[in-house]
Structure 1
Amino acid sequence: MTHIVIIGAGECGARAAFALREKGFDGEVTLIGAEPHLPYERPPLSKDGLAEASLPKFVADAARYEEARITVLIGATARSVGRAQKTVTLSDERSLDYDRLLLATGARPRALPGVPENAERIRMLRTHADALAIRAALTPGARLAVIGGGFIGLELAATARRLGAEVVLVEGLPRVLSRGVPEEIAAFVAERHRREGVEIICGAQIAAIEEAGDVARLLLADDVGIEADLIVVGIGAVPNTELAEAAGLAIENGIAVDERLCTSDPDIYAAGDCCSFPLPHYGGRRVRLEAWRNAQDQGVLAAANLIGAGETMASVPWFWSDQYEYTLQIAGLADGAQATVRRDMGEGAFILFHLDSQGRLMAASGIGPGNAVARDIRLAEMLIAAGAKPEPLALASPETRLKKLLAA
């Protein structure tokens, strides 16, 4: 094997490139990215990176790529994959031969129907350029409307309040954080936002959205009108599967891969936000995760398997979000849980442990100031991976150390 090509220069693709070298691969490594920047981390874009309008938080500087002999093609778009010839054709007609290929094409923001093309005051947040455009509008006293009450929308609302902007957040479902976050924690987060002055409207249906001169307008189905200096749409993400589809690879809520991240072509792998995969700790249930650590973990796993390691996924899903002084962390998937046990940890921190019908720990969801829940969520993650069935009373008691339960 002499050449591995990685399409997608985000967190996942960059981690995979470096992991190839760390695991001893000595052939050519080429990393292809459409943006004009070296790979950078996206989570700061809705947090400190947005507030400070700083440069992206790069995964590595140019010297490290050069030292690792990784060729990075920035501002380059992969147009097609020729599986029979094992080639990648770029939009400028350059062609690259590959022995193995990794698709780390990520995801893009889900578009809201009815948004005018090239609207300056109606935006989505995905790239560093998006963050700079949004930051320019978040001046003290400016009015921001956020459509979508998920992690991104709420983080953006918190950052906007920190910068002195007024915020109204519109969510179509009955509550914020409907996807994967327990109602009790979602209510806690919503109340914290309201205390900060964020107006939250749930169960809202959008009738019209428009840009008119120096304002953007939302009209809700109940005839409520909202005017703002800027509207940011954050209603989820769509996996970038177009290259894979055109190449004839299997698609199932993303590029379908097996437990080794291999696609339906044995020489092509996929990892990160763009792929769906079976979770061993949840009976092989197929999921697609849009999460920073998943991108890292899968980048490293894909690198190992591109060079023949044959390793399978063993990690437990993990998510996090900063909401003002609080950090929310979730390990595992709570869907289908039959029982929930609460552990109060003082200073407003608590963890919810989610158990299945057999008493097996499926997930743990926690929130607290700073890193108050971080250690116990990490231990809960290890309990989930071990298939543990801890006693509910032990989980509920803050005096019982989870490390002791793990040892048992």
Structure 2
Amino acid sequence: MLLRAVGRQMTSVIRQQTAVRSITMTRVALGGGGHHHDPQPVYIPKPGSLDWTLCGYSHAKSAHPHEPHKTDVGSLVGAVVFIGLTLAAVFFKTDTFKKDDGHHHGHSAKHSAQQEEVHHEEPEEKHVEPEVDPRKPEEVLAVREAPAAVEEPVPTTSKQEQEEKADKEAAETKKAESEETSVEPQGTTSKQEPEGTSATEEPVPSTSKTTVEPTPSEPKQENSSLHCEYVIIGSGTAAYYASLAIRAKQAEAKVLMIGEESELPYNRPPLSKELWWYGDETAASKLDYTSLSGKKRDIFYEVEGFFVSPEDIRKAPHGGVSLIRGKKAIKICVDDKKVILEDGTTIGYDKVLIATGVRPKKEKVFDEASEEAKEKITYFHYKIFFFLFCLFQPKDFKRVERGLADKSIQKLAIVGNGLLASELAYSIKRKYGENVEVHQVYEQKYPAEDILPTHLAQKSFEAIKNSGVNVRAEQKIEGVRKCCKNVVLKLSDGTELRSDMVIVATGEEPNSEIIEASGLKTSEKEGGVLADKYFKVAENVWAAGAIATFNDNILGSRRISSWENAQVSGRLAGENMATAGKTEKAFWYQPSFFTKFAPHLHINAVGQCDSTLETVTVYAEPDGENPLEKAVVFYKSKENGNVVGVLLVNVFGPSLDVARRIIDDQKKVEEFKEIAKLFPLYEPPKVEEETKEKSP
């Protein structure tokens, strides 16, 4: 057997050498080996000219110059060394030479004697005599050389120690049998151990109903131990941009956002604008649209894979941003640096940011509706023929869009005169035209009259009406009832308005419950949490977005509810959190907002735009070639007459930056027509004809 194994090994070596020589000859024939001269003729050995025996002597060197060199003494020495090493490995690493009959039987007799000594303690254990292995000798050798087949020697113990061990094993076996017996009546099928199995084997884990399962309180206990360096309450625009600013200042920072909504952080304005204007039939499901530049965009800031799971954020080697969705934070323990969620979960923090934003304002008339009508009223969700309160959310848009697309909604009533209500009325009518009947109902005289001066508010009224919307101005809703599949609104003039759905967008209010529960100060006038010009609320506590009432060095105390303010304040608050105690930046950038009520009515504004302030409007002269009516509205401060706000009607380009500069200068303006020249109200004079006349 040994000689056969060695012979096979030598045959393998000889074949390898033959292959190497064959490759060498082939390279020479093809001009290889790095030589560039003409190939030399190949030496072809004659039959029987090569002697490959182990003990063969070297042949005389052939006269042919290209005959391969054949070793003589080196081959013999190498073969002898290889055989010696092989025999040594077999002798020391295996027991092949010890497996003679006498030794084997002696070992068996010794093993049997040891078993007889403990026979009275383990009567069920049987000793099986080894059988002759029917496998081939080389297979047996291979198995014995494998590490798994090497048996560790059994330690020699005294008879007393063996008896104590046997007693212990018998007790464990009895205990395991009693446990199996107690489980079997509950429907668990126990399997008998195969014959010859030792009683010391560990019992197989049971899969019965008695298996201990984690209780619901265990995940809560695990979550309660969560701790993150930066915790942000909210998952909107301000929260998202704050997380980016923190990570920009500290590359390995760990940020945890807690969002009450189930959606990923998203951009809200397209829900009432771009998704209606530029979205196709897939907008309701994908929430995307094609912008004017031709690029495909969606409303979400990041994909799911951007966020690290809350359980892994502490172990993230390079930090990251984590998101908890569908959870509401109800209290901040400033002294203990903890945030308490509605389900009792506690999250520790080093620094915390409040970015809870605003919610739709509730109307008393809907709270006092009948129980039948209340079952069909919801503030955030849309169901066919139900009510929908705005601020708009992705799920709201999806359900409204699908209802309009399948024509189950053919009559729509929008309650409110603000920017959001007017945008929705125009956007929905723009997309569906004659397929939907849109009514806009509000108590005021004109749309957005709290922002626009009277003459512009009147123009907005006409523009919305001309776009096909039925405007029901100066009408108060006095009653709500459900009739068949319709919702009936009783108006103050005695008429009734039937609709398939009602969207209520009458205003907003800050989500300030957590502020009051945490003992933080709120603004009596604005309603948000009080913060300084650095957006700091208290020790290790900051605020950003529409929830923050902060100190503006130019315009005083303000609370701004716009997308750009959420972005700017979120970035600034996040940067100040990351650099607290080193360098902090005060608020300095005046955010703007944009809206559109009609095809030819684009409105941009910056600063404090309040219709109760004195205003000065500069119009451009009518231009027959350009249908857009252009105007710039300046809002004057009540205290000193300085310009505190600028509103642009169909004026574009760098106009917003110019308006910010005028506000920052804090100068009293006397000649508004001169300042208006800074804006592109007028087209430059045409000089083409004069050039042609002067040319020869």
TM-score, scaled to structure 1: 0.89
Secondary structure, counterpart of 1:129 in structure 2: helix
> Could you tell me how far 1:132 is from its partner in structure 2?
1.6
1:247 alignment counterpart: 518
- Show the counterpart of 2:402: 136
Distance 1:401 1:266, change over 3 A: farther
Of 643, 660, 677, the residue aligned with 1:381 is 660
C-alpha distance in structure 1 between counterparts of 2:420 and 2:411, whole Å? 18
The one-character-per-residue Cα deviations of 1:298-346 (angstroms, maximum 9, x if unpaired) are: 1011112212132211122422112343321111114464450314275
What is the aligned partner in structure 2 of residue 300 from structure 1? Answer: 571
Paired residue for 2:552?
A: 279
Alignment of 1:363 onto 2:645: yes
Equivalent residue runs for 1:114-129 within 5 Å: 114-115=365-366, 116-119=374-377, 120=383, 121-125=386-390, 126-129=392-395
Q: Secondary structure at the match of 2:324?
A: strand
**For each residue in 1:188-234, what CA deviation from the matched residue of structure 2 results, as whole angstroms up to 9, or x when unmatched?**
22211111111212222111122333111111122121111111000
Bigger Cα displacement from structure 2, 65-74 vs 243-252: 65-74
Task: Report how far residue 101 of structure 1 moved.
Answer: 0.6
Distance in 1, Cα, partners of 2:659 & 2:261: 37
Question: Could you say what secondary structure the match of 2:654 adopts?
Answer: helix
Call closer, same or farther: CA 1:159–1:334 in 2, change over 3 Å: closer
- 1:197 aligned partner: 468
Give the alignment of 1:9-408 within 5 angstroms.
Answer: 9-24=235-250, 26-50=252-276, 52-53=283-284, 54-55=286-287, 57-66=299-308, 69-115=320-366, 116-119=374-377, 120=383, 121-125=386-390, 126-139=392-405, 142-162=410-430, 163-164=432-433, 165-252=436-523, 253-263=527-537, 265-282=538-555, 284=556, 286-307=557-578, 308=580, 309-325=583-599, 326-335=601-610, 337-344=613-620, 347-356=628-637, 360-368=642-650, 372-390=651-669, 391-397=671-677
Moved more, 195-204 or 337-346: 337-346
- Please say if residues 252 and 320 of structure 2, whose CA atoms lie closer than 8 Å, have aligned partners that are also in contact: no
Of 61-70 and 220-229, deviating more is 61-70
SS in structure 2 of the partner of residue 72 of structure 1: strand
Q: Rg bigger for which structure?
A: 2
Partner of 2:120: none
Change (3 A) 1:300 1:214: same
Q: Which has the higher contact order (CA 8 A, sep 6+)?
A: 1
Deviations 1:123-146 (A, max 9, x none): 113311122222233346811111
Could you tell me how far 1:287 is from its partner in structure 2?
2.4
SS at match of 2:427: helix
Change (3 A) 1:242 1:118: farther
User: What's the TM-score, normalizing by structure 2?
Assistant: 0.54
SS of 2:658's equivalent in the other structure is helix
Indicate conservation of the 8 Å contact 2:453/2:615, yes or no.
Answer: no
- Matched residue SS, 2:620: strand
**After the TM superposition, which of the residue ranges 77-86 and 168-177 deviates more from structure 2?**
77-86
Residue type matched to 1:243 in 2? I
The 2-side partners of 1:14 and 1:134 are apart by: 27
Whether the 8 Å CA contact 2:568–2:591 is kept in 1: the answer is: no
Structure 2 residue identity aligned to 1:256: L
What code does the residue aligned with 1:274 have? Answer: I
Residue aligning to 1:405:
none
For 2:619 and 2:646, how far apart are their aligned partners in 1? 10
2:234 match: 8
More helix by share: 2
Q: 1:69 to 1:348 in 2, by over 3 A?
A: same
Once the two structures are superposed, residues 227-255 of structure 1 have per-residue CA deviations (whole angstroms, 9 ceiling, x without a partner) of 11111000111100111110111111111
Identical pairs, percent: 25
CA contact (8 A) 2:562 2:592 kept: yes
CA contact (8 A) 1:344 1:396 kept: no
Q: Does the aligned pair in 2 maintain the 1:210–1:218 contact within 8 Å?
A: yes
Q: Give, in angstroms, the shift of residue 180 of structure 1.
A: 2.1
